[in-house]
Amino acid sequence: MTLAKICGLSTPETLDAAIQHGASHVGFIFFPASPRHLDFDRAAGLAERIPPRVTTVGVFVDPDDALITQAVRAGRLTAIQLHKTAPSRVAELRRSTGVETWAAVAVKTRADLATSAQYTGAADRILFDAKTPDTAALPGGMGVRFDWSLLDGHRHVLPWALSGGLDATNVAEAIARTRAPLVDASSGIEDRPGAKNVDKITAFLQAIVVS
């Protein structure tokens, strides 16, 4: 069965809904420019509600050591997801934190997919996300989807996940089209940026079960 990550959670109600309806991974964002940013106190409170069977993923954009250290501790993170972070830095953070480490690869063309090979030996998983415009404030969570046909014939060198514009209406198609082992949703399960909707979370996870 395809695994699911609900990302950008910030309230007990939405976190509980994700866990109750079968999310294998939940994501906390530590990036002040994001409307989904969590401070350490809120992350610590939410972390207390997460059972051991669920992987807690901290999401970062080229973070410094202090941010990573504090977030891993406060959020009880069992994985970190790194955006706009060079392979050497990903490898360094993987060694220093000792937790599962994901490298996000922004995709618009097949050449973008090829860059994932640079993370062999540095990351534990690749997250393929849609490439946002250079002028965008955020590297993800914009509701943008990339052309899934780009994945046809791509040789995956690491375990991987699919992100970018996923919601309850298209996730079954995404899984059937790409055979993604893990799917990741954020903006597609919100009423507005940063405001998750319990019903949309539930519908998204139920759509995966029947896919």
Q: Which residues are catalytic?
A: 7, 129
For residues 106, 155, 204, 6, the Cα torsion angle rounded to the nearest 10 degrees is: -50
C-beta separation of 60 from 37 below 8 A: no
H/E stretch holding 185: strand 182-185
C-beta separation of 134 from 122 below 8 A: no
From residue 147, alpha-carbon distances to 109, 152, 166, 169 in Å are: 8, 10, 12, 16
Tokens representing 83 are: 């955006």
DSSP string computed for 100-117:
EEEEEEEESSHHHHHGGG
| Helix then strand then coil, % of the chain, to nearest 5 | 35, 25, 40
Residue 13 burial (CB < 10 Å; 0-12/13-18/19+)?
exposed
C-beta separation of 146 from 106 below 8 A: no
